Structure 1
Amino acid sequence: MDERDWHILKVLYQKKNITKTAQSLYISQPSLTKRIQQIEKEFNLKIVERGTRGVQFTPQGEYLANCADEMLIRLRQIKETAFNMGQEISGTLRLGVSNYITLHKLPGLLKIFREQFPKVDFNVTTGWSKEILNLIYNEEVHVGIVRGDYQWSESRHHLFEETICIASKEKIDIQDLPSLPRIDYGTDALLKSMIDNWWRRNFSRPPLVGMEVDKGDTCKEMVRNGLGYGILPSVLLEKDQNLYQINLKDEQGDTLIRDTWMLYHEKTLELKLVNEFVQFVKSVDFMRDI
């Protein structure tokens, strides 16, 4: 079996459907069926059976499917180690990056890095910080960039900090917030918890949510148009100094801060490509250079 076969088993086990698996892998159903038959012939056992509810894995097939992640990781490590033996920095850098960083910081960061190392390719996965933490923990990516102070026992590097602000088009009094329309948005669990805890410490009734949008950038646009106030990270408001802003504070009167971190396993620095990228990121001022 080669890498493609293990990937087929992994996706088929997830989808439990030949049609959906073929579509996901961009191959025809006959080609997929033939490949599965070849895998069965190689192992001399039945892997899957078709039923009224789609594909059902045999116990032996389920065992092989459960081995797929391990085998794919091992094959990837072999390739990376082989690349690492060369003198030139090349290969594919796998990154897991939070949504905000992907949109606002990552393009410029990768552009500068590729100018230095033109033979490097990038495989980038984006999502909420908690999702990225899981990717780096399971070694599905080389380096993760997350926002918030998640527990992480391996290597980390602080990139920047930001305050959490109440933002509005016109000046408002913080005590009036419960009666003013608030614009909520999708965000990671840590930031939501930070905002919710701050609210409970200061008010005895829930916010008047007038609108729920997909992300912080959309919330900011609604605020700019006077449709309500938002509670946003300060980095989203850097170019909107005309908006009225109030920093959230804790019980001691200190401004609430959220940090952004680069996370990685120390052993991955043995790969020249990863080591170069980590050292490069450490040299960058995220608030000025990018």
Structure 2
Amino acid sequence: MDIRQLRYFITIAEEGQITSAAKRLNMAQPPLSQQLKLLEEELGVKLVERGSRSIQLTDAGKELKKRADHILELTDTAVKELKDFNNGLKGTLSIGTVSSSGATFLPERIQKFNENFPQINFEIWEGNTYRILEILNSGIIEIGVVRTPFNMGTFDYIYMPLEPMIAVSVDMQEFSSKDYIELADLANKPLIIYRRFENLIIETFEKSGFKPNIICKTDDARSTLLWAESGIGIALVPKAAIKLVGSTTLKYKPINEKVLQTQIAAIWVKNRYLSTAAKHFLKTFKGGTSENKD
């Protein structure tokens, strides 16, 4: 089994037909069918169920497709690294980002970077923090843009300045006379939280003497705000996240609690090769930072 066979197999799986897969690969159908047969013989499993008009992946085929996608991603990454012996003025930079930074903070940095390096393209991967850490460790991306807290043990990082958590609701009338909301103000209030900050929020509230009334947890800051917009409770999110929704009904106030603060961080795996493009991008990140470690 080699990379070429895996590319053939992925194309067959995506097209669902040998004929259309061969056309996409600019090759004849019989040699492609033969390659699929050889791959099945080598692995000792049936990868597809052949029908009169289309093929369907077997369970083994589905597993190989998933693995092959990952292998080719890593292969493409390796090729990019090996070709990157110039000054980093061309190429593709793969970055992973969580939603609360990807839609608010990252575009500004990419625009600034693009002005200086217009021939560098981007591949942006989105997901929650755990997903970004996973694909960063596996080598699919070079840089992750995440929010604290996270386990920093295997990473180097650059921090952006701290920002407060905010309370967001369609009705902030009872807090109108205050510049900040105290934790005590949120006692017994129905809270909607981004699961990423669940432990931090619970621990902070309990240290203040009460248990938070969490009625909803989400995996995305945007979803947290949309639930608040429905009027069922108060969302607790990083301040920058308010830009994720273009709502005219949502109001917010910062929470007066130093522990409930977060930072955007650019992270990369310690002692791993970084392309010149990635190094240039990290320099863009450093402007206005509160703490660097590289």
> Could you tell me which of 172, 191, 204 is aligned with 1:198?
204
Question: How far apart, CA to CA, are the structure 2 residues paired with 1:178 and 1:222?
Answer: 19
Unaligned runs of 5+ in 1: 13-17
Name the amino acid aligned to 2:159: H
Question: How far apart, CA to CA, are the structure 1 residues paired with 2:173 and 2:87?
Answer: 58
Q: Spell out the pairing of 1:58-77 with structure 2 (5 A cutoff).
A: 69-70=70-71, 72-77=73-78
Question: How far apart, CA to CA, are the structure 1 residues paired with 2:127 and 2:74?
Answer: 21
Name the amino acid aligned to 2:102: T
- What does residue 17 of structure 2 align with? 29
Q: How many residues align?
A: 262
Name the amino acid aligned to 1:193: N
> Could you tell me which of 50, 57, 60 is aligned with 2:60?
57
Q: Secondary structure at the match of 1:144?
A: strand
Q: Secondary structure at the match of 1:133?
A: helix
TM superposition shift of 1:194? 1.2
- Whether the aligned pair in 1 keeps the contact of 2:158 and 2:286 (CA below 8 Å) is yes
- What does residue 158 of structure 1 align with? 159
- Whether the aligned pair in 2 keeps the contact of 1:6 and 1:65 (CA below 8 Å) is no
CA deviation digits over 1:132-188, x for unaligned, max 9?
111111111010011012113231111232222334522347546454444x25x34
TM superposition shift of 1:73? 1.6
Between the two proteins, what is the percent identity of the paired residues? 16
- What does residue 41 of structure 1 align with? 38
Question: How far apart, CA to CA, are the structure 2 residues paired with 1:247 and 1:261?
Answer: 21
Change (3 A) 1:116 1:218: same
Name the amino acid aligned to 2:286: K
Q: Spell out the pairing of 1:76-87 with structure 2 (5 A cutoff).
A: 76-82=77-83, 84-87=84-87
Question: How far apart, CA to CA, are the structure 2 residues paired with 1:121 and 1:255?
Answer: 38
- Whether the aligned pair in 1 keeps the contact of 2:142 and 2:274 (CA below 8 Å) is no
Question: How far apart, CA to CA, are the structure 2 residues paired with 1:179 and 1:47?
Answer: 58
Unaligned runs of 5+ in 2: 23-28, 51-55, 176-181
- Whether the aligned pair in 1 keeps the contact of 2:195 and 2:219 (CA below 8 Å) is no
- What does residue 275 of structure 1 align with? 279
Q: 1:134 and 2:134 equivalent? A: yes
Q: Secondary structure at the match of 1:160?
A: coil
> Could you tell me which of 207, 210, 219 is aligned with 2:213?
207
CA deviation digits over 1:207-226, x for unaligned, max 9?
173x7778544655775797
Q: 1:125 and 2:122 equivalent? A: no
Q: 1:230 and 2:235 equivalent? A: yes
Name the amino acid aligned to 1:230: A
Question: How far apart, CA to CA, are the structure 2 residues paired with 1:64 and 1:156?
Answer: 34
TM superposition shift of 1:273? 1.3
Q: Spell out the pairing of 1:222-261 with structure 2 (5 A cutoff).
A: 228-236=233-241, 243=251, 245-247=253-255, 249=257, 254-261=258-265
CA deviation digits over 1:228-254, x for unaligned, max 9?
4322222335899x94635253xxxx4
Name the amino acid aligned to 1:166: A
- Whether the aligned pair in 2 keeps the contact of 1:136 and 1:144 (CA below 8 Å) is yes
